[in-house]
Structure formats: structure tokens, C-alpha cells
Amino acid sequence: MTAKQFFIKEGRLRPTWRAISYTLALLVGSFVIQIPLVIFLVVAVAVGAVDEASLLDLAASRPLLVLSTLINLILILPLTYLFRRFLDGETVLSLGLARTRGWLRDVVAGLLLGAVLIAAIFAVEWAMGWLTVEGFRWQVQSPLLIMANLLIYFLLMVAVTFYEELAYRGYILQNLNADWTVVIAVIASSLLFGLFHGLNPNVTWLALVNIFLAGVVLAACYLVTRSLWLPMAFHFSWNFVQGAIFSYPVSGLQSEGLLLTSTGGNPLVTGGTFGPEGGLLSTVALYVALLLLWVWRLRTRGSLRRRAGRLVEE
């Protein structure tokens, strides 16, 4: 391989270098855009508006979560468009956002899969006595406030799901897969997905392992359908039901869902303050998801073979 071939493929920058450049742009852009937020937090501590002990709670508060989500959305959407348009010579829709045949089925399947798996984790914790349901949100808050919170959380999860899937299972995974085997592309994109969550509150080594595994599951969702609708729906449902319904922390960020709960048990199993994603129950659930996706893939291949056979006979 010549020096030119190392960097250039088919007249363009090699897909691997595009993925690396995109990741670095995400890091730099996120750092630059969030500098004002960091300055605000530092000033708040300096003037005594908040003490250092409460700084973590402030950083994870709803207003700053909304602000952080908007910042990431504003960064990732134009960045992906520019890279896709000028480096790849393709459209953003071609990453898997086109509404091709079966896209609605993928959305419904993803919504069901995420909800059922989180509900299974909840059921196990409840049955084992590791989780106690103390009441319902409408017993302590007005219906109007509850609906407003649900709407905010819904919009937040839609935005987070969209830009994370666009970045990791869209641009990064697909460009790496253009140069490397699918296994390498899945592992590399999932590692990046896990590392980008490394600064979340209350993160543990098992939480990072599970987020990496979640990245593998979401990559499998894309590979089974070759679109982003299934991974986006699964990702959204997993997060929304986890936080907005069961009041679990989502990736370390506290939630106020419809149920008033308290969680005990071994944090290694339940995830503790990080939420289910930090526990072994999530590890099992994610492996179950992989198994179901594998079965889906086998059934899809079988259906395609039967359809091809009928066409040959005709």
C-alpha cells in the first residue's frame, strides 16, 4: 500500500480517516461549545451560589440536561451533514434514515423490544425485593406538571436517541465498515459509544461495559435492517421507559417517572445510583436482545431465500 492509498480510496479520504476525523470533530466541537457551560458552573461555585458538594447535582439537573442536549443536537446535525456531503459525497438520509419498506415495522419492534426488556428488569427487581413501589407521581404532583415533565422527557429522549444513533450507528459504524470487517467496525464504534459516556455521574466499570454492550446491540439492530429506525426506536424505548415510567436513573442521570420507587439490593446486580445500565441484570437483558436479533436475522434470511426460490420457479 502506497502512502496515497493509505489515505485515499476511490478518489476520497479513506472511510477510516473520515470516521476518525468525525470523532475528533465531535470531541473538539463538544469541548468548545460547552466551555460557556463550564465557566457558568465555575462562577456559580466561586460566587457561592452553589457549593462544591452540590455541583454534581447541578450539572445533572433538568435545565442543564436540556441545554446539553440542545448543544449536542446543534453540533452533531450540521457536522454529520458536512462530513456526509463533502467527504462521503452522500446524503444524510443514506445513512439509514430513508423510509424504505418495513421502516414502520422496525419502529414498532424497537419500541416493544426496549420496553419489554426494561420491564423485565423491573419485574425481577420487584419480585426479588430489591425494588419497592412507594406510590405514583400523581399522588405528589399535579397532573399538569406531570404531563409537562413527560413531554420534556419525551422530547429529550427523542433528541438524544436521534443524534447518538446518527453519529455512532450512522456515520462512524458505517464508515468503519467500509474499510474493515463488520466485527471490527462494531467493536470500535461501540467502544467510542462507551467512552463518550465515561464522564456520566456515578459511572462504574460495569456501567461502561454495559454501555459498550448496548452499542453492540444497537449496531446489530442496524445490521439486521440496514436502517437506523430499529436502533433509534429501541434506544428511545429503553431510555424513556427506564426513566419516565419506572423512575430509574438513566446512565447515571436521575429521573422523575410515573412510579415512586426506591431501589436496594446489590449495586453490582441492580446498577445502584447509575441505574439498571450499571448492573448485571442489564448485561443479561442485552444478551437476550442480541439473541432475539440473531433469531430475527435468521428468519429474515430464510424469508429472502424462500422469496428468491419462488421468483426462480416463476
- What pLDDT was estimated at residue 83? 97
- For 250-290, give the DSSP string: BTTB----SEEEEE-S-HHHH-GGG-GGGSHHHHHHHHHHH
Q: How many residues does the chain have?
A: 314
**Which residue type is seen at 274?**
F
pLDDT per residue of the chain (314 residues) written in tens, 0 to 9:
677 778 888 889 999 999 999 999 998 887 777 677 667 767 776 777 666 666 556 655 667 777 788 888 989 999 999 999 999 999 999 999 999 889 999 999 999 999 999 999 999 999 999 999 999 999 999 999 999 999 999 999 999 999 999 999 999 999 999 999 999 999 999 999 999 888 788 899 999 999 999 999 999 999 999 999 999 999 999 999 999 999 999 998 888 899 999 888 899 999 999 999 999 999 999 999 999 999 988 887 765 455 444 434 44
- What pLDDT was estimated at residue 80? 97
221, 107 contact by CB (below 8 A): no
Q: Please report how many Cα atoms fall inside a 13 Å half-sphere around the Cα of residue 302, on the Cβ side.
A: 6
- What pLDDT was estimated at residue 304? 47
Nearest to 169 by CA among 188, 154, 155: 188
The per-residue pLDDT for range 47-84, each reduced to its tens digit, is 776 666 665 566 556 677 777 888 889 899 999 999 99
- What pLDDT was estimated at residue 71? 85
Residue spans of alpha helices (H) in 180-245 = 182-195, 205-225, 229-240
The C-alpha atoms of residue 162 and residue 166 are separated, in whole angstroms, by 6
Task: For the chain, state the CA radius of gyration.
Answer: 21
